[in-house]
Homo-oligomer: A and B are copies of this chain.
């Protein structure tokens, strides 16, 4: 961790307890306020619980997206993922929200699988491995139910002819100094990783390139990716494109507690979509950080703290969309009527119900890959 900072957030490192208000200030993003929520609701009819509860809490240029929308200029959605062996629940947060946006606005969605980046950053992974992860991760995306007529999944290494050519003018306008500062690299970084951010910028202009005119792009994503898109926003207007807009969420906390983001590589800190019901039960019971008291008696007396309880946070962020139900759980836990074990049981059941359905959908998704994957 850097000396003068209490926490660090880059696409390649999250350390410390993230203060999201400070992070907004540091990154220069705007808070999602009531006025913006109402403006979104005007078009969507209702608000997704991730908006209502502030999981998506900050943005860049959402008002531009809505201005254009109100003029009849459709935007398109773009998000992505550095493929990993297993998708964990934290990855699903922005994807589920993106699906809601696609359903409400009926817009095109581009999902980028950055197997090149993953290969470059992870010393031990081969290209073949990161490519096979990309295929597996694509199944998870498809399983969430995106409309295949309006959705493209792009694996970088399958689209290098298109991507490299669009990335070149972007790369020409980004200096090593800028990348070093934005991502916290030192000079031992490999030159592929240095170049990579220009590849991540490509989907933000891909529709504009294809259609030969400027199309607004909205990127829902977890806030650690902001440095990539901040660079893209700086460079793309100098190439004649719109700045991509973004709507950004906080991280699903790791099982062990709210320090850092959930790592895909530590199985005790995360639940994978491939975890079977027993594993899920064991992980939540054993590892989910509790806001409860040391004994039942004391818990009944003093109550628990849902604000630091990971099981409650997971329900709030991902698994209990019903505001009344989440409020009841929160109150019951806070006043001691609900024990940690009971709270965990609710979460375990929610996760296992979701995952049973998800796994079945992701196996069916395997046969639908050709409907989604784009290749040069």
Contact = CB atoms under 8 A, between A and B. Distances in A.
A16 interface: no
A190 interface: yes
A63 interface: no
Q: Do most interface residues of chain A lie in helix, strand or loop, or is the interface mixed?
A: helix
Interface stretch (A156-164, A242-250, A297-305): A156-164
B160 A164 contact: yes
A171 B190 contact: yes
Contacts of A192: 167-168, 171-172, 195, 198
Nearest to A171: B192
A135 to B, nearest CB: 16
A3 interface: no
A180 B180 CA distance: 14
A176 interface: yes
Interface in A187-246: 187-192, 194-195, 197-198
Interface string A146-172: 000000000001011101110111011
A116 interface: yes
A376 interface: yes
A176 B194 contact: yes
Given A191-B198, A192-B198, A194-B195, A165 B157 contact: yes
B168 A116 contact: yes
Nearest to A178: B191
A163 B120 CA distance: 16
Interface in A27-59: none
A173 interface: yes
A120 B172 contact: yes
Interface of A: 116, 119-120, 127, 157, 159-161, 163-165, 167-169, 171-177, 179-180, 185, 187-192, 194-195, 197-198, 376
